[in-house]
A and B are shown apart, each in its own frame.
Chain A
């Protein structure tokens, strides 16, 4: 037996040591169980592509109001339409092998591609296509494209591979609009939480708040995906997203929202910054139904009082683009209308005086609570103060915006981003939330839709667009940039952000 020592270290009871050992072992065990967050080192056809995004879907159904994240992760990857809108805005056949239009333009007959199966193994039939289209136009559908299918008169599936749609009026955009319709398995009872599409990937798992994983579908009818798995990692904060790319947690950022963080990527040869075409417009949308914005002169005055160039530079630095209308350059009917309402404070004051508001007025701006809306609202308040207009900023949540502004039209003016392309036609609907009601524009939009040729359609929509700019139906503040930042290890990703879709099947990764 040894003498008691005064050295404390020698007196650590065995039990404590055991506890420590167990704790360490437990910790190691946990660490081993934890999912591997880093990018896989596999390359080529076995690669896992880790994608970082700020837009987590709210659910997995594109007729269920799931947000732009649904399109980003699933459109073209898990679900496919009868047609595909390519990254450069062209429409091509996807699940149809061929289609024909009757002479009067009212009957469309689609022949479905053969040999296509859903991920569940069920073969694709015309009944599924019929069900999918009916789902989009159903009364409870929240699809943004629902109203554009108004001309549909009837949908039939006379054979397993034949779908016939009859229209009440001609609709030149019908095929284009079909590229938004996902063909889903009619038997899927819970499309908001499970996915059963025909795309090159099946949904492997969705951990809400963290990741959504896709795995290559080996039974895919077309060219198989160039990578094995794709994991979308979701972030709520742009800085955290950038850090994830810098620390190799992800390979690619779908849409950079923090221009000041770009320097660290442009200066580093390990990353590539891609400035693509975007269709996302930031709007100061008036409620054109209510005073004072029912007056064209007041709207034009507000438009001319805002230095859009300075705003764009403030928010996006050298990125992004000024637009003078709802139409982005990637739409066929784009025209540069940035000078239709020039930045001119004297003109703004003159218009206000002519409208009987020489002493200025006040209005409340319903401002969504997420970036960049609050800071944009602050800028507008400061700009409009220069012409005597007082803005009260009311910050509201996205849900509140949907019910208060979009559904009830209970607002005077609001800020909102509109992500879709070819959406100028919404100004032809007087019941839309902004309440622009010009019978002339409504007629042009309707005639354009019923046009026999694309040229005719383009000419009519250009005319409508010029009128919208003349009337300052809304203030189109700027077009967002679409910046994809990626590690130079990966290639083959889409760089344009049309409708926020992000096709991942062509992405490859090399070792290094």
Chain B
């Protein structure tokens, strides 16, 4: 099992309960989308799986190990095998794209190699190959602050592709891209997961993208796992219930509109 959770809960530092009673098993090679209204706990779940947050209770196993029973050094080794794609990739503005992408393997490289790479990129071919899959080769030697929000997201994805992890977790990986690019990028991630036989877990706010690209869908609402189904078996009623909002007016019967969601992404 790539991921094995039973009864996992998560409480934020301010006492707010973000997740409760999550039971989830994901095998290598599975491709899973997480959908749900904003604030439902999608990001918290992904950060929990990336060992960036510590669960308050329950049993959590990532890549065959309980990260919170490991020593700090062993946990760092485990983290090097997990690739987390951030919604707004935290990249230093003055860093060159090539350095940013190559930093994906810092967890696998020795410190000396990391130092040397800072002086002169050791594997610009590898970085260029990762960027080429996302149609961004020409930005290889530019600074991060010269890129748009969507381009930055793709640089963040290229870094994880270059990292070659054994599990890819993606938090709204295409939120700043236009629909065509979003489809292409999700295709690249799926193809990578299928080719290497690794699990891919992505949270998405566009239900149609989730249904089109992922065979298995998780619905999260108010910190709970509401459903866990194959994409074909998902009914409209379940989707409506997932997104139902008492405060807002009733939603249209169709799945959430597919208008490109314009999200403000601060330049890195």
The answer to whether A binds B is: no
Chain B interface residues (CB < 8 Å from chain A): none
Chain A interface residues (CB < 8 Å from chain B): none
